[in-house]
Structures are given as C-alpha cells and as structure tokens.
C-alpha cells in the first residue's frame, strides 16, 4: 500500500512539474531537463510554427509585390521614353516633308490663280462656241 501511494505521488508531482502553461515554462538545467530552455505545449508549438510560416509567406508576398511594382514602373518609364522619341521623330518628319515640298504660299496662290484663269477661259471659249 505504501508503494502504491508513493508511486501515485511520484506521478502526480512529476505530472505537475512537467506541465507547461499556455505561454510556456522556463526550465533550468537542474529541473528535470538535460538542458535549459522552455517547456511548451504541443498546441502552442504548432501555433508558433504556423505563425512563423504565415510571417514568412507574407514577407515573400510583400517582396514579390514590391518587385512587381518596380518592374511596372520601369516599363512605364520605358514607354514614356518611347513616346517622347516617337513624337520627336514625327515632328521631324513633318517638318522635313513640309520643307521638301518647296512650294511657298505665294507660289501656291499663283498656281491657284492660274488654274482659275484657265477654267474661266475654258468657260468663255465654250460659251463662245455654243453661240
């Protein structure tokens, strides 16, 4: 009977000593452990590991989003540079084409006037031929 009570007391005392609370219990090297550290329940360990994985996942996602944003900004800058280059080329082509025509305003006015005179003269000739 004494042995039974002693065994029950040992299990009860050892159970209380090795029991970890919600946050964990610190153990010194002399307290029934081969090394110093914290005694934590399995549930708490799983929570900490899950929290670490989520933290790592969020960190990786954040880095990925930052790289994506930087890449998009680089693309936008390159497109803006392209627009400026194409606009400059278009302006130069327009000026070159305008200058290459070689016909000034006065020359155009002269040709128009001559054309109008030819048409007027044609009508007069046609009118005279009909009479």
Tell me what pLDDT residue 83 has: 95
Give phi and psi for 9, each to the nearest 5.
-65, -40
Tell me what pLDDT residue 2 has: 54
Q: Report percent pLDDT > 90 for the chain.
A: 38
Domains of the chain by residue range: 1-40, 42-105
DSSP string, 12-69: HHHHHHS---SS-EEE-TTTTSSS-EEE--HHHHHHHHHHHHHHHHHHHHHHHHHHHH
CA 120, CA 94: separation in Å to the nearest integer? 35
Tell me what pLDDT residue 70 has: 96
CB 33 within 8 A of CB 27: yes
The segments of the chain whose pLDDT lies below 70 read 1-31, 33-36, 101, 131
Q: Which two tokens stand for residue 5?
A: 């009570």
pTM of the model: 0.42
C-alpha neighbours within 13 Å on the C-beta side of residue 97: 6
Q: Which two tokens stand for residue 48?
A: 């900490």
Tell me what pLDDT residue 72 has: 96
């Amino acid at each position: 009977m004494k042995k039974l009570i002693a065994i029950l007391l040992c299990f009860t005392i050892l159970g209380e000593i090795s029991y970890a609370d919600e946050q964990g219990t610190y153990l010194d090297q002399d307290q029934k452990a081969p090394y110093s550290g914290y005694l934590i329940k399995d549930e708490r360990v799983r929570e900490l590991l899950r929290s670490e994985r989520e933290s790592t996942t969020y960190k990786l996602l954040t880095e990925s989003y930052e790289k994506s944003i930087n890449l998009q900004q680089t693309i936008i800058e390159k497109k803006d540079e392209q627009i400026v280059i194409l606009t400059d080329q278009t302006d130069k082509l327009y000026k070159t084409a305008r200058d290459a025509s070689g016909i000034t305003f006065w020359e155009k006015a002269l040709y128009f006037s001559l054309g109008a005179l030819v048409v007027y003269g044609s009508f007069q000739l046609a009118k005279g031929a009909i009479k």
